[in-house]
Amino acid sequence: MRGITLALESGIKIAFNRVLHKGYTDDIPEQLSFIERYKSRLKLYTLLWTPQSASTHESFYQDWHPVVRESVLPRTLKIVRVRKQLGRGRLQFHLVGGGSVEVKLGDKLDRSMHPCASCSFKNECEEGFGDYVRVDPRLHLYFCYMRRDLGFQIPEYFGRPEVLKQKLQEAIGTVDVESLLATAPLRLTVTPFCNFNCRAPGAEQGWCMEEPGEFVYPKIRASLLGEDKP
């Protein structure tokens, strides 16, 4: 917190991502006060279902609607809806004291088009295809957090922009490549390890899409698993 506060007071813009968990939202008002003080941004996410997190998803899934109604709306000055060509739209709640809270909308997600139509995860998936363009440390580019097979290795197409564009078009179907790249944020992972241990309380398996892959994760502390050990 000291480091974050120093960065904010130095004028560095920081956005906070928070995955909501059932039974772990009592501190939301305190966090909103912090957001208002530093005119920052808080993004509230719901727990995404993945094959890895299926056993804990139901127990800890927290819908954002009641959290926003109870804690965010009383502090809201105006609400802005942001629409996207692909993926989910956003609602931005601009706070009276400054700063904002953002949530993703799940409405009007079209699963009838390639590649979602044939995806075995489409009934559980809450993300929109093309919400992000993801690139991992091995320069593997992909568009879906559960479907790394829909991507490809970028270095194979260095110096061949037209071939790269064609490959991108094949991956996303009928959507125009240039429009997608102009609107979808780039999520670039620069190191092949992570120390966040994104998982539900007491769970030994996280929901992160990278966890079953080649990324390195530190051993989680026993206290975070809910065990009695120190």
Q: What ranges do the domains of the chain cover?
A: 2-108+191-225, 116-188
CA distance 127 to 146: 9
Tens-binned pLDDT, residue by residue, of the chain (230 aa): 899 999 999 999 999 999 999 999 999 999 999 999 999 999 999 988 877 778 888 899 999 999 999 999 999 999 999 876 666 788 999 999 999 999 998 766 777 877 888 888 888 887 777 778 888 888 888 888 778 788 888 898 989 988 988 888 887 776 778 877 777 888 888 887 776 667 777 777 666 766 656 667 667 665 555 554 44
CA distance 138 to 143: 15
pLDDT at position 221 is 63
pLDDT at position 197 is 67
What is the percentage of the chain residues whose pLDDT exceeds 90?
35
Q: Three-state SS string across the chain, please?
A: CHHHHHHHHCCCCCEEEEECECCCCCCHHHHHHHHHHHCCEEEEECCCCCCCCHHHHHHHECCHHHHHHHHHHHHEEEEEEECCCCCCCEEEEEECCCCEEEEECCCCCCCCCCCHHHCCCCCCCCCCCCCCEEECCCCEEECCCCCHHHCEEHHHHCCCHHHHHHHHHHHHCCCCHHHHHHHCCEEECCCCECCCCCCCCCCCCCCCCCCCCCCECCCCCHHHHCCCCC
CA distance 95 to 114: 39
Query: CB burial class (10 A; 0-12, 13-18, 19+) of residue 58?
Result: exposed
CB atoms within 10 A of CB 105: 17
Q: How does pLDDT run across 10-42, given as a tens digit for each residue? A: 999 999 999 999 999 999 999 999 999 999 999
Q: Is this structure's pTM higher than 0.85?
A: no
